[in-house]
Structures are given as C-alpha cells and as structure tokens.
Amino acid sequence: MGLWEFATLTFMWSLLGFILAIGILVTIHEWGHYQVARWFNIKVVKFSIGFGKKLWSKQGKETEFQLALIPIGGFVKFVDEREGPVAEEDLPRAFNRQSVYKRFAVVAAGPIINLIFAWMMFTAIYMIGVSAPKPIFDQPIAKSALEKALPDNDQAWLVLQVDQQEVTSWLTVREQLLMALVDDQKRVSLTLESIETGRIKVLDNVSLAELDLENQKQNWVRAIGFQPAMIPVPAIVGDVKANGPADLAGLQSGDLILSINGTAIHYWHDLVTTVRDLPNQEVFVVVSRDGVNYDHQVALTANAAANDDLT
C-alpha cells in the first residue's frame, strides 16, 4: 500500500469514526428532549437524526422517526400552535401551552443527558482501561544508563515494575520516572520479564542523571535508555504504483523482499532504514515470489524511504 492510499484509507476511517461518534451524541441528545416531553405528555411529531433529505423513516404510534442526509445534528418536533394549526384534541399537549418549568425541563434534557453520558463513558474507561502499547524493548540506546545496567543484551524484555510500582504501558513508565524525579531520586530499580523465556530480572540502581525534571520537552523514557521494540512487520510489497520504480523494475504485489545490495532484509523496518541511505541509486533487490527467488534492479528516487519506491 502506497503513502497516498494509506493516507486516503486513514482519512476515510477517521471520517467514518467522526460520523459515528456524532451520530451517537446526537441520538442521545435528542432522546433526552423526546423522553422528557413524553413524561409530560407533550405530543412529539417527529424525531430526526440528521438534517436535510430524508434517508429512512418509520411512523410510530404518533411520532415519525427518521434518518436524514447530513449527520451533524438532529431535532425533535413538538405539536406547537406557533408553527401551525393544531387539532382540538392535541391542544392540551401542545408545547407552547405547557408551564415554563416543563418547557425548561424539555429544553434542558438534551444537554443534561449528554453530560450524564460523558460521565458514564469516562467512568467506564477509567474502570476498564484503554489499549496502549506494552512497555517492551530490546536494544537499549547506546551509552545510556539502561545499557550500562543491561550490557550485551540479546533479547526483548517487558517492563513490569519501576521502583516496585506496576507499569502496563510506556505512559505509566514515564509517570513512574516523573515521580522519581519529583522525589529527587538519583536512581530507580526496574523489574523486567524476558519475552522469550519469561525469566524475571531486576536492575537495581539505574541512574537518572541524564533526566532533567525542568525540561518538559525531554523524552524521559528515551533519556534513560528505553527504545521500544519495533513491531516485526514482514517486508512484503504492497500495491505497486504504475510506472513507479518498483513497477519498472518488475516487482509485483506480494513479493517478499529478502535483501537489498546484499544486506539481509528481515522486516519492513530494515527495508526503510536501508533504502533511506541509498537515495538516487540503483540497487539490487532479491525477492521471493511463490517460493522462487528473483533478482531485480531498482532505481531509487531522492526520497526513497518516504516515497515508497518499493511498493
């Protein structure tokens, strides 16, 4: 998948998520008006989610429910003498004939139900939690405090605790480092679990000398030496751009890239870092296709890594 296709897909999913979120909020808001009006026996003529052209509707006992084209709002329409003639039997149920307290309650119900819904959602998020990247790292940053405490590392680790406090994400690791800095600590202890074997390892006295509490822009997680492990994404060619470098070289969608100029490519990250150092050069690429290896000569552009020359 090229950069443009990825950006387009991301935009479409974001737009869909926005419309869905707005739709839920509007529905809850209008339901507040509708429900309170029913409690006071005010006749509701129409309940609409969206404005403009009607896309779908269903007639209830006395209320028409509809979905409209523009999903950024909605409305609830009551029987009201100010908007037209009202049947004699409906006059006691007209909105304009209700007491000021009832009308105020109906109008206020929408915003109030939205506030209650927001409180319920935040409470649920707080209780359930949200997904976040686990604090997994492999190679500490060179010359960092973590590398000095964990020299010659050859495996990936999950951070379980910082100063005996449980952590579940990089954000909570940062929070514990912040607490240590606020307490004017010079060192912290780290409890790690091997991803491969499950072995527990405790690093005592990891220096905080490189961390600066006064520098709010400093990445304290990186400053101590943590480098989040890269997700191992295979280096598989996505959609090949017509007349692009990959297409002109004969690469096909689904090809697994094995090497570039003799440098082994294991994951997509290896591909990006390799071609980034080879702008405007012709490179020899070995790919695997249906179990057979093929050699291709690809002419990279000036900004190969960003332009997806191999897709």
174-213 pLDDT tens trace: 999 999 999 999 999 999 999 888 899 999 999 999 998 8
Band (114; pLDDT cuts 50, 70, 90): very high
Closest CA to 135 of 174, 164, 108: 174
From residue 209, alpha-carbon distances to 144, 187, 202, 223 in Å are 10, 8, 19, 9
Instruction: Return the minimum-mean-pLDDT range out of 111-120, 194-203, 209-218, 266-275.
Output: 266-275
Least confident of 99-103, 113-117, 160-164, 252-256: 252-256
Share of the chain above pLDDT 90, in %: 52
Determine the Cα–Cα distance for residues 90 and 110; give it in Å rounded to an integer: 24
| 34, 38, 55, 157, 173 from 23: Cα distances, Å | 16, 22, 14, 42, 36
Is residue 87 scored above 60 in pLDDT? yes
Which of 47-51, 114-118, 242-246 has the least mean pLDDT? 242-246
pLDDT higher than threshold 80 for residue 35: yes
User: What is the pTM for the complete model shown?
Assistant: 0.51
* Cβ-Cβ contacts under 8 Å for 234 (sequence gap 6 or more): 256, 267, 268
Write out the H or E segment, with its range, that includes residue 52.
Answer: strand 44-59
Across the range 51-73, mean pLDDT stands at 92
At 131 the pLDDT is: 64
Query: Angle, to 10 degrees, between the axis of helix 100-128 and the axis of helix 3-39?
Result: 140
Cβ atoms within 10 Å, residue 212:
13
Residue 304 has pLDDT above 80, yes or no: no
pLDDT tier, 3 (very low <50, low <70, confident <90, very high otherwise): very low
Average pLDDT over residues 87-108: 95
Q: Is the pLDDT of residue 139 over 90?
A: no
Higher-scoring residue by pLDDT: 243, 287: 287
Query: Averaged over 211-239, what is the pLDDT?
Result: 84
pLDDT bucket at 2, cuts 50 / 70 / 90: very low
Predicted confidence band of residue 274 (pLDDT cuts 50, 70, 90): confident
Q: 184 — phi, psi (to 5°)?
A: 60, 35
Contact 275, 39 (CB under 8 A): no
Q: What pLDDT score was predicted for residue 306? A: 46
Q: Is the pLDDT of residue 1 over 60?
A: no
| Residue 134: per-residue pLDDT | 87
Beta strands in 63-116 (DSSP E): 64-78
CA–CA separation, 157 and 140 (whole Å): 10
Q: Residues with catalytic annotation?
A: 30
| Element (DSSP H or E) covering residue 258 | strand 256-260
pLDDT band at 11 (very low <50, low <70, confident <90, very high): confident
Q: Phi and psi of 291, rounded to 5°?
A: 80, 0
User: Is the pLDDT reported for residue 6 higher than 80?
Assistant: no
